[in-house]
Structure 1
Amino acid sequence: MLSLKAAQELRQSLTRSDSILKTDSDLLAVIWPDRPGLPAAPVFEHSAPFATRSRQRNVQAVRQAMTQAGAQWHLISALDDIAWVLNLRGSDVSYNPVFLSHLLIGPDSAVLFVDKTKLVPELIARLAADGVTVEGYDDIQGALTALPHEALLVDPARTTVGLLAHARSVSLIEKLNPSQRFKSVKNQAEIANVRQAMEQDGAAVCEFFAWFETAMENGELVTELTIDEQITAARARQPHFVSPSFSTIAGFNANGAMPHYMATPESFSVIEGDGLLLIDSGGQYLNGTTDITRVVPVGQIGAEHRRDFTLVLKGMIGLAAAVFPEDYPAPLLDTLARAPLWAQLLDFGHGTGHGVGYFMNVHEGPQMISHRAYRFPDTEMKAGMITSDEPGLYRPGQWGIRIENLICAVPAGQSEFGNYLKFETLTLCPIDTRCIERQLLSEQELSWLNAYHEEVYRRLAPRVSGHALTWLQTRTAAI
């Protein structure tokens, strides 16, 4: 399970001590004799109109990158990269539409190593027609051993040292998987599909919040677990819904101060009294992946709640409204979202933004918006990249605030100084203005918020009705 990069770093560290790194023992087998077998969920095709690039085109793009790197062979073990290259999806990993496999691409061949029982014969035939053959999952070891004395391209952070031990005859070229870059840049057809997915998701979240406010007004028992159930059910009623994109985070008051909190049947809070409720959730749709965080008031909230909320909102708007040079290092954009918090000697401990897949993993690279990653390679922001914008502020034992939209880098124009990018906000859902301290917003920030709410109403109103439409009208009213 150890990546080549991790093994290299460990070995380097261990040279300073009287220790060596052994990677030829399966320690889990000794202590886990009743370990379950590998998942057997079926693999299915992500097809048109949702898949907008052909499998042959994807493989050819990877081959061209291999040639540029000087490699005759390329081993891909990253499951999201394999799913993207082959326009296939699965459900072997919770919330992520991927399947256990390896892919070995050569000058004129491509072999998918997977449990064959997970693919119907018709799909195997379609893969073969596109130049992709299917072999058993464990056959990858023998295939690597049989490779000729040529160059093998591998991503050291996404390939295990144990697997590469079988590739004894090749010379390794260690670089980022080319497919990481290709799939991070969405084309216009994919972005158009994502916009539709955002409308579907926004309508679902409106329905949820309309239910939530009505339930609270009627004195119904609502818990953090209930919220997960209800918001998932609302999404499931939308077209093309497949599953949540991650486990819903619903944290009330002190629970919201833990960024990765998860309620369980053994430990959860009832939503009652006064305070802030943080909900971070998302959906996997055939036409896109969503991830949204909203904070809403419960009962009465105070001036400190509103001050914290508004500072986070200012940071979120600061990043969303940015204009910057094309290929600018994404980690350096982080300062735009933190500046309002830093000015008050405040901060948050996680990154501001992560890449988001297209009916794929909700976290993907190579771009990331985090000042802690400024030394990382391959983080340039390019047009078509979808990234989260989610600054936060957490007061342990009291409350947590995070406001998250997904944003897409789009062309902003060209000048004698080069090409520039800006962000299009994709997520469509009101930001609760009851939590805002109006005097802390600049006129530009207020204009951005009102324009955003106007767009949210325009695009979601045709998709909701009844209580959800009434809720939408109220929550998008200009301030």
Structure 2
Amino acid sequence: MKVSERVDRLRLLMEEKGIDAYVIPTADYHQSEYVGEHFKVRAFMTGFTGSAGTAVFTKNEAGMWTDGRYFIQAALEMEGTGVTLRKMGEPGVPTVEEYLKETLPEGGMIGFDGRTVGVDEGQSYAAIAKAKGGDIIYDCDLVDSIWSDRPPLSEKPAFLLELKYAGETTASKLERVRNEMKKAGANLHVITSLDDIGWLLNVRGDDVEYFPLLLSYAIVKMDSVELYADERKFSDAIKAEFKKNHVCIHPYNDIYEAVKAFGAGDVMLIDPRRLNYALYNNIPDVVRTVKQENPTIIMKAVKNDVETANIKKAHIKDGIAHTKFMYWLKHNVGKMKITELSASDKLEELRAEQGNFLWPSFEPICAYKEHGAIVHYTSSPETDVELKEGGMFLTDTGANYYEGSTDITRTVAFGEISQIEKEHFTSVAISMLNLADVRFLYGCSGMNLDYVAREPFWRQNLNFNHGTGHGVGYLGNIHEPPTGFRWQFRPNEVHPFEANMIITDEPGIYIEGSHGVRTENELLVCKGEKNEYGQFMYFEPITFVPVDLDAIIPELMTEKERTLLNDYHKKVYELIGPHLTKDEQEWLKEYTRAI
């Protein structure tokens, strides 16, 4: 079936149910950013495969809302489908809610699968329908009957994250969570976000594409944890750990009936941003709810010392693999056939050689020349191209090791590239280095500091249409709240930087039809001097891979900026050089030379 045929079938089902607008978000039942194959409903119905967006279908229109990372990709993938791209945040483009307000007829019905829609969104849709004298229907997964070969839910086994990697026992984590529950006056805490459950119970899985997470729900009580997951996924060793911590296993979908059993006198702590609408609606009215962010969010984001030490080891492994990859590219492009996909395979092979490698931490972005301008480009057999001299190759990739997850971007020049490409490359390097070098007072968030990264671009009347950085989870979500670098206000990214947070530093520039440049390191947040002015903070780079000097114009850099690059490269050579072959080491010495 073509996308247009799927849309036609969806409209027939909408008509049968009396639905005027049907909303399909990019989500599983846990509000996950990335989802397993079973949950890729929006991609199935629109043809757009990116990781973010919401589709809305009415009797006459089909719209796909996504952000600036995906404008180019979405337009290409949805060409000829009849689905219209709605560029979020662009002038004149209504939000999903504004569109529904405008188009829903009087007495109209909005439909959605309430398991895939968050509490706030569900309540917003209900309010829009009510204002029109209409209603919502939230217990209908209309696409399931259209998607005849829909992949089943994952049945892959879970695995235990040993204390030498987790750095804190489940008992200790539960005690901390229960202390926060007491402060909130709650005797129950429902958690549906997969990374929070995985962190709390020190278990991981393989149920979400790339992310080592387990499909599960949890209810934390004061003396037990009720875990809703497929029991077949747990080994005897995991079950023994669960027993020690009074974790009881129940069938995955039983959570929806379980919450109905609570009653008067129960107080439930919930995070509306991370709870689905259907589950929220099953909470009895007599149960009092306390709505605040999951306590695990900040606990998880502030790494313990064991996690931090492990993450640094993971980045050394990644630095070795990626430096070997750059050496291989520089010596073989133009001499043997290398494509985007074969290069991606080579990088994964080099990572696997490092030991304790699980799988990539997100879908690899390997983009040559004009493909680099597509921020979240994914190469495919249809788009795969050969790497040749005279162009730049952008790779934004990462790895899951038992020691932690990594996220790194490098752009490599092959042969002679244009002056403007070198200028753009240099601007990106300057931005990345300057942001990593900032000193700031405790209390600052990424909103305070993002200007440091954007100033080199804004001075040239340039910009990049994505955040400059995001938190990184420890074998969890690669995009981890509650902080990030972004000049626009986002309520989930304004938490002050805390020592032992990990955040990326990844400015870029994208020229449609020509080239893209992005350079990304990960940074560890550290405490500096404390004096009469307050607690000063700084960042420590933990990614060690050379920035391609073949694309740098030293004359465009200030003396300070050249010193920052030289100092960084000196550390790259010291830490990575000893792990390379003699030839690779000689090459690295040249590519980390002082400029």
**Same fold? TM cut 0.5:** yes
How far apart, CA to CA, are the structure 1 residues paired with 2:363 and 2:177?
33
Secondary structure at the residue paired with 1:316?
A: helix
Which of the residues 193, 206, 209 maps onto 1:91?
Answer: 206
Please state how far the C-alpha of 1:402 moved relative to its aligned partner.
Answer: 0.5
**Shift of residue 270, structure 1, vs aligned partner:** 1.0
Contact 1:50 1:193 in 2 (8 A): yes
Aligned partner (choices 273, 297, 316) of residue 199 of structure 1: 316
For residues 351 and 493 of structure 2, the distance between their equivalents in structure 1, rounded to whole angstroms, comes to: 36
Cα displacement string for residues 326-361 of structure 1 (whole angstroms, at most 9, x for unaligned residues): 131222211110011001110000000011011222
1:16 and 1:166, CA in 2 relative to 1: closer, same or farther beyond 3 A? closer
CA distance in 2, matches of 1:408, 1:14: 46
RMSD: 1.5
Relative to structure 1, is the Cα distance of residues 444 and 15 closer, same or farther in structure 2, using a 3 angstrom cutoff? farther
> Is 1:210 aligned with 2:291?
no
Alpha-carbon separation, structure 2, partners of 1:42 and 1:341? 47
Please say which of residues 93-102 and 311-320 is displaced more in the overlay: 311-320
Cα deviation for residue 375 of structure 1 reads: 4.8
- The match for 2:196 is 81
Report the 3-state secondary structure (helix = DSSP H, G, I; strand = E; otherwise coil) of the residue aligned with 2:396: strand
Q: 1:104 aligns to what?
A: 219
Pick the aligned partner of 1:187 from 282, 286, 304.
304
CA distance in 2 between counterparts of 1:280 and 1:49 reads 29
Equivalent-residue separation in structure 2 for 1:247 and 1:34 (angstroms)? 23
1:70-96: CA deviations, max 9, x gaps?
Answer: 211111100001000000011101110
Q: Provide the rounded CA distance (Å) in 1 between the counterparts of 2:413 and 2:494.
A: 40
- Local SS of the residue matching 1:36: coil
1:286 Cα shift?
0.4
SS at match of 1:157: helix
- TM (normalized to structure 1)? 0.96
Displacement of 1:25: 2.3
Aligned match for 2:141, one of 23, 26, 43: 26
Deviates more, 1:163-172 or 1:39-48: 163-172
How many correspondences in the alignment? 478
Identity %: 35
Supply the distance in 2 between the matched residues of 1:18 and 1:395 (Cα, whole angstroms): 47
**SS of aligned partner of 2:165:** coil
1:413 alignment counterpart:
529
Instruction: Report the counterpart of residue 243 of structure 1 in structure 2.
Output: 359
CA distance in 1, matches of 2:258, 2:567: 57
Corresponding residue for 2:495? 379
1:171 and 2:288 correspond: yes
Matched to 2:205, the amino acid is G
Rounded Cα–Cα distance in structure 2 between residues aligned with 1:432 and 1:117 = 48
Give the partner amino acid of 1:259: V
* Counterpart-to-counterpart distance in 1, 2:189 and 2:584: 50
In the alignment, which residue of structure 1 is the partner of 2:53?
none
SS in structure 2 opposite 1:167?
coil
Q: Aligned equivalents of 2:370 and 2:479: distance in 1?
A: 26
CA-to-aligned-CA distance 1:267-288 (integer Å, 9 cap, x gap)? 1111124121111111001011
Question: For the Cα contact (< 8 Å) 1:331–1:379, is it kept in 2?
Answer: no
Amino acid at match of 2:544: L
Cα distance, 1:371 vs structure 2: 1.3
Aligned counterpart, 1:282 = 398
State the secondary structure of the residue aligned to 1:49: helix
Q: Pick one of 545, 554, 560 that aligns with 1:444.
A: 560
1:6·1:157 contact (CA, 8 Å) conserved in 2?
A: no
Is contact 1:113–1:137 with CA below 8 Å preserved after alignment? yes
Measure how far apart 1:171 and its partner are: 1.9
**Residue aligning to 1:63:** 178
Q: Is the 8 A contact 2:482 2:492 kept in 1?
A: no
SS of the equivalent of 2:137 reads coil
Q: Quick check: 1:326–1:383 contact (8 Å CA) kept in 2?
A: no
**Distance in 2 between residues matched to 1:34 and 1:413, nearest whole Å:** 59
- One-letter code aligned to 2:288: S
Partner in structure 2 of residue 356 of structure 1:
472
User: 1:417, CA displacement in angstroms?
Assistant: 1.8
Give the Cα–Cα distance (whole angstroms) in 2 for the partners of residues 190 and 125 of structure 1. Answer: 24
- Aligned-pair distance for 1:193? 1.1
In 1, Cα distance between equivalents of 2:556 and 2:494: 37
Q: What does residue 462 of structure 2 align with?
A: 346
Instruction: Return the alpha-carbon distance in structure 1 between the equivalents of residues 441 and 576 of structure 2.
Output: 32
Q: Aligned residue for 1:114?
A: 229
Q: Does the C-alpha gap of structure 1 residues 166 and 34 become closer, same or farther in structure 2, counting only changes over 3 Å?
A: farther
Whichever residue aligns with residue 316 of structure 2, its letter is E
Residue identity opposite 2:460 in structure 1:
Q
Superposed CA offset, 1:118-161 (max 9, x none): 11233212211122121111221222111232211111111101
Residue 273 of structure 2: SS of its match in structure 1? coil
Q: Which has the higher contact order (CA 8 A, sep 6+)?
A: 1
Local SS of the residue matching 1:21? strand
Segments of 4+ moved more than 6 angstroms: none
Contact map agreement 1:280 1:291 (CA 8 A) in 2: yes
CA contact (8 A) 2:164 2:306 kept: no
Residue 465 of structure 1 corresponds to which residue in structure 2?
Answer: 581
Residue of 341, 348, 355 corresponding to 1:232: 348
1:73–1:153 contact (8 Å) kept in structure 2: yes
**For 1:247-396, what aligned pairs fall within 5 Å after superposition?**
247-376=363-492, 379-396=495-512
TM-score scaled by structure 2? 0.78
Alignment of 1:394-409 (within 5 A): 394-409=510-525
Conserved? CA contact 1:278–1:400, under 8 Å: yes
Deviation of 1:370 (Å): 0.8
Q: Which residue of 1 aligns with 2:58?
A: none
1:1-29 Cα distance to aligned partner (Å, 9 max, x none): 11102112333444554443321223233
CA contact (8 A) 1:206 1:471 kept: no
Match of 2:245 among 124, 130, 133: 130
